[in-house]
């Protein structure tokens, strides 16, 4: 490291340059070596999904090298994508996620605006409460929620258990607190002069929100949307508890309960289903990686 | 504004007085508007988070058919069962080990990514974050298949080195190792991203000053990097502790608590007892045992988050 300071000193730069770059080069080589190791560790399961999904059942049960596809085939994909059941899971997941994302945004954006800009009685407490709610895990609430919805069914006759739309009530408890929290952070970082100018020009609160806050905080809005979608798409415990009929299941639960039949594991199809289930979040991530990461880090650093 | 007041005191004062009156008016309307905007949020939190939380306390005091009040009967029953203590022990081992390894691996990998030229960092970061993006239920299926006893890709590979078949999910010790490994695989990228963001925010001048003072790499980490990142490390670790402690997907899919309940943690056991065993009060009591540790972690996170807010 002393070489670094000498490098900055100027005149002696050429003398020490060789040894510094040698040190640097070695550090770099080691970094790359370990990064490759960690990348292999990270990517093995998804790649193995892909490898297995391209195999026929015969090749999977034959004791050949599992890391290589000898006779690639798309029969698993063809079978799943033409199966009404699987497509049903996919649509259920898609509908639940899209509606939940919309609901989340409709609830959390105005609330975040109010909490970030309009100080009112109890607003600070409510902001803290939102953050605490975000820390309440699904595994704490699934039993009372299940009982609550069962009782609602008994009392009012509106049967919500074992209907996919019951998830529309439940998923917002996971998405809204986090989205509100990061939107408060984004909104609070907007200079006060902007909305003061809007108010002076005669804009209403609603206009201030839609004309100024939403456009300026658009990156935050995108990050929150991605988060809400990923959470609703990946959620496993709630659909496992609340839905049982095969036509009401969402993708993760559907794959696990229908493709695993007793002790018979049709691994080719399971891996294909898992890969197709992982595809939407992966595609969003591939295109919007920076927003995804911004949302991830904002949760703990904003506010 | 201050300038204007100093230069033209006569003009500025009546203007600000008028402004105050109208400001008061706006404030009055503002609070109602604000209340209406937060109303859906308040309703959602009260009806679907706070109410179920207290309802869970009530449920825990009922008997299995939910007809009779039994007080602390469910808790007494749990305390007498060996399985319950097994679950407590396993939850602690699982959460602590997994969080420690996630934090360590995340810290190390973040340094390696930070080390390489900025141009290539995006690509590496992108690859290393993939485990966090895939829904855990889906990726755990891939791990289950990698761990498969008869056609397992891992055992096939190990056989090359002459290491006998390992019962990844069949033996208690290996099954515990497997669930922790999958959890570390899934959670380490989150730490990596958080630490990388924190590393980028440490000013270069500090390292240069440390280098001038003759600090070696270890001293630079200990005296510069760690103190600068302390807050982020604390928040990330506590947050991950909550999530890991409450984990359900990974254990459920990989081992479903087996072999012989040796990998059950609170969430999976509560599901087994409460939903599969349809003893809802007992299930509610089991999941309530997560509350103390979650509450402690939450209080510390809140303190750190508020501290950050005050600094900024």
Place of tokens 């934090």: B103
Decide if pLDDT at A72 tops 80. yes
Interface test with A, best of B24, B29, B37, B109 (most A CBs within 10 A): B37
Q: What is the average pLDDT score of chain A?
A: 83
What is the rounded CA–CA span in Å between residue B55 and residue A292? 35
* Start-end of H helices in chain A: 2-9, 13-53, 57-61, 75-82, 84-117, 123-135, 138-156, 166-170, 172-188, 192-200, 205-207, 214-216, 218-234, 237-242, 251-258, 267-287, 289-301
pTM for the predicted model, two decimal places: 0.83
What is the rounded CA–CA span in Å between residue A115 and residue A181? 10
Task: Tell if the CB–CB gap between B135 and A281 is shorter than 8 Å.
Answer: yes
**pLDDT (tens digit, 9 = 90+) per residue, B195-206?**
888 888 888 888
Q: Does A161 contact chain B (CB < 8 Å)?
A: no
The proportion of chain A whose per-residue pLDDT surpasses 90, expressed as a percent, equals 21
Interface ipTM above 0.85: no
Q: Does A165 contact chain B (CB < 8 Å)?
A: no
Q: Average of pLDDT values for B118-143?
A: 88
User: Closest to A48 (Cβ–Cβ): which among B105, B153, B193?
Assistant: B153
Question: Which is more confident, A22 or A43?
Answer: A43
**pLDDT (tens digit, 9 = 90+) per residue, A117-130?**
877 778 888 888 88
What is the rounded CA–CA span in Å between residue B8 and residue B10? 5
**pLDDT (tens digit, 9 = 90+) per residue, A211-221?**
888 888 888 89
Cα dist from B279 to A121, B70, B229, whole Å: 42, 14, 46
- Contact call for residues B191 and B106 (beta carbons, < 8 A): yes
Decide if pLDDT at A65 tops 80. no
Decide if pLDDT at B25 tops 80. no
- Chain A residues touching residue B146 (CB < 8 angstroms): 44-45, 48
Q: Average of pLDDT values for B91-102?
A: 92
Q: Nearest C-alpha of chain A: how many angstroms from B281?
A: 9
Query: What do you get for the CA distance between the two ends of chain B, in Å?
Result: 24
- Chain A residues touching residue B151 (CB < 8 angstroms): 60-61, 63, 66, 267
Q: Does A7 contact chain B (CB < 8 Å)?
A: no
């Amino acid at each position: 490291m002393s070489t670094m300071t000498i490098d900055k000193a100027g005149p002696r730069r050429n003398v020490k340059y060789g040894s510094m770059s040698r040190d640097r080069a070695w550090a770099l080589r080691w970094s790359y070596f370990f990064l490759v190791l960690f990348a292999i560790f990270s990517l093995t399961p998804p790649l193995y999904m892909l490898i297995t999904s391209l195999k026929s059942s015969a090749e999977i049960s034959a004791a050949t090298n599992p890391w290589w596809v000898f006779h690639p085939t798309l029969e698993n994909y063809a079978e799943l994508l033409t199966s009404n059941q699987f497509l049903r899971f996919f649509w259920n997941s898609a509908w639940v996620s899209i509606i939940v994302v919309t609901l989340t945004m409709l609830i959390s954006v105005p609330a975040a605006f109010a909490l970030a800009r309009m100080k009112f009685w109890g607003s600070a407490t409510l902001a803290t409460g939102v953050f605490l709610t975000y820390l309440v895990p699904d595994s704490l609430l699934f039993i009372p929620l299940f009982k609550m919805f069962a009782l609602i069914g008994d009392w009012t006759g509106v049967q919500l258990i074992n209907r996919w739309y019951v998830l529309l009530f439940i998923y917002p408890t996971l998405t809204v607190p986090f989205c509100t929290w990061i939107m408060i952070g984004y909104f609070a970082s907007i200079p006060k002069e902007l909305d003061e100018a809007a108010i002076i020009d005669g804009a209403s609160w609603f206009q201030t929100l839609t004309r100024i806050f939403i456009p300026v905080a658009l990156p935050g809005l995108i990050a929150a949307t991605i988060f809400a979608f990923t959470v609703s798409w990946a959620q496993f415990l709630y659909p496992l508890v609340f839905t049982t009929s095969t036509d009401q299941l969402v993708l993760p639960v559907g794959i696990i309960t229908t493709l695993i039949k007793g002790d018979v594991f049709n691994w080719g199809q399971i891996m294909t289903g898992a890969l197709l289930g992982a595809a939407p979040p992966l595609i969003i991530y591939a295109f919007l990686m920076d927003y995804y990461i911004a949302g991830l880090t904002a949760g703990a650093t904003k506010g | 504004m201050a300038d204007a007041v100093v230069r033209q005191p006569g003009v500025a004062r009546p203007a600000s007085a008028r402004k105050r009156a109208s400001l008061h008016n706006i404030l009055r309307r503002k609070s109602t508007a604000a209340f209406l905007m937060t109303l859906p949020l308040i309703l959602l939190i009260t009806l679907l988070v706070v109410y179920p939380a207290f309802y869970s306390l009530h449920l825990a005091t009922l008997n299995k058919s939910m007809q009779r009040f039994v007080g602390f009967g469910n808790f007494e029953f749990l305390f007498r069962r060996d399985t319950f203590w097994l679950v407590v022990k396993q939850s602690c081992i699982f959460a602590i080990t997994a969080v420690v390894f996630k934090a360590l691996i995340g810290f190390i990998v973040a340094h390696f990514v930070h080390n390489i030229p900025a141009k290539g960092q995006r690509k590496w970061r992108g690859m290393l974050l993939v485990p966090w993006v895939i829904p855990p239920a889906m990726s755990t299926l891939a791990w289950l298949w990698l761990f498969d006893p008869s056609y397992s890709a891992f055992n096939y590979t190990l056989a090359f080195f002459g290491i006998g078949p390992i019962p990844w999910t069949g033996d208690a010790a290996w099954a515990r190792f497997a669930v922790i490994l999958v959890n570390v695989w899934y959670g380490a990228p989150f730490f990596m991203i958080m630490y990388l963001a924190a590393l980028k925010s440490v000013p270069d001048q500090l390292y240069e000053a440390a280098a001038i003072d003759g600090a070696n790499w270890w001293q630079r980490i200990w005296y510069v990097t760690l103190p600068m990142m302390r807050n982020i490390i604390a928040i990330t670790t506590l947050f991950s502790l909550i999530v890991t402690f409450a984990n359900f997907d990974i254990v459920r899919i990989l081992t479903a608590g087996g072999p012989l309940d040796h990998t059950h943690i609170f969430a999976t056991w509560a599901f087994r007892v409460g939903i599969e065993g349809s003893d809802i009060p007992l299930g509610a009591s089991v999941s309530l045992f997560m509350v103390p540790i979650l509450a402690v972690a939450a209080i510390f996170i809140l303190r750190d988050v508020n501290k950050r807010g005050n600094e900024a």
